[in-house]
Amino acid sequence: MMNSILSQRTWIYVSLLASIFMLASAHVFETFGKMYPCDLCLKQREPYWVAIFIALSGIILSRAKPSWPMFKTTCILLGFTFLYGTGYALYHSGVEWGIFHAGCQSVDFDPSQSLALDSPMVVGKCDEPPLVIMGVTMANMNAIGSMLLMLTSFVCAFRKQKN
């Protein structure tokens, strides 16, 4: 089972689904949990959008010309994308712990203007995590998830394949 997940071809699909899941879960917490994201939280989502683009591009291009270098290149690109995501999530964790200072601030919000397109969006504070479970914040969880995705992407890219 693990060998099939770690095949380059399969990993591209798994990373696509994982990226979609990470974005969807962030939106669920935001929408239903009323845990409004700070500026750093929003920027942490960008690598997942990039990973979706890379994975879809790899899937489409591999259908036209399936080849080992195509799968390997896609896994390497995914690995670097998740590496960036890991770094950004670790930076955000450092801001939450007071190690780094971020210049982001929350925006005042008037609930009576919630339907107006020109009203500001509710934004949380970067140094005040909205959810902490046993000392672990959402930025910490994102760093762990991104790190696992990065490591698996690089393992898939550089291990011997049976494509």
Alpha helices by DSSP H, 2-67: 2-5, 8-32, 39-44, 46-64
Question: CA dihedral in degrees (103, 81, 17, 43; nearest 10)?
Answer: 10
Tell me what pLDDT residue 85 has: 96
Tell me what pLDDT residue 121 has: 55
Domains of the chain with CATH codes: 2-158 (1.20.1550)
More confident residue, 125 or 55: 55
Q: Is the pLDDT of residue 149 over 90?
A: yes
pLDDT tens, residue by residue, 59-76: 998 888 777 688 899 999
Percentage of the chain beyond pLDDT 70 is 75
Q: Is the pLDDT of residue 45 over 70?
A: yes
CA atoms of 66 and 49, how far apart (whole Å): 24
Residue type, 10: T
More confident residue, 158 or 82: 82
Provide φ and ψ at 16, rounded to 5°.
-60, -50
Tell me what pLDDT residue 83 has: 98
More confident residue, 50 or 116: 50
As given in the structure block, the two tokens for residue 107 are 């925006």
pLDDT tens, residue by residue, 89-117: 999 888 888 887 776 655 444 555 555 55
